[in-house]
Chain A
Amino acid sequence: DVKVTQSSRYLVKRTGEKVFLECVQDMDHENMFWYRQDPGLGLRLIYFSYDVKMKEKGDIPEGYSVSREKKERFSLILESASTNQTSMYLCASASGGVGGYGYTFGSGTRLTVV
Chain B
Amino acid sequence: QQQVKQSPQSLIVQKGGISIINCAYENTAFDYFPWYQQFPGKGPALLIAIRPDVSEKKEGRFTISFNKSAKQFSLHIMDSQPGDSATYFCAASKAAGNKLTFGGGTRVLVKP
Chain A interface residues (CB < 8 Å from chain B): 4, 29-31, 33, 35, 40-45, 48, 58, 90, 92, 94-108
Contacts and interface: CB of A to CB of B under 8 A. Distances in A.
Contacts of A108: 41-43
A42 B43 contact: no
Contacts of A45: 99-101
Interface string B23-50: 0000000001010100001111110010
Contacts of B45: 105
Given A42-B102, A94-B97, 5 more contacts: A33-B100, A58-B99, A90-B44, A101-B97, A105-B36
20 contacts: A4-B43, A31-B97, A33-B100, A40-B9, A43-B100, A45-B100, A45-B101, A58-B99, A94-B96, A95-B97, A96-B97, A100-B95, A101-B46, A102-B46, A104-B46, A105-B43, A105-B44, A105-B45, A106-B43, A107-B41
Contacts of A48: 99
Nearest to B106: A42
Contact of A43 (B9, B46, B96, B102): B102
A44 B99 CA distance: 11
Interface residues of B, number: 24
B44 to A, nearest CB: 5
B101 to A, nearest CB: 7
Given A42-B104, A102-B49, A90 B96 contact: no
A86 B105 CA distance: 19
A102 B96 contact: yes
B73 to A, nearest CB: 15
Contacts of A30: 97
Contact of A42 (B49, B98, B99, B103): B103
A25 B21 CA distance: 31
Contacts of A94: 96-98
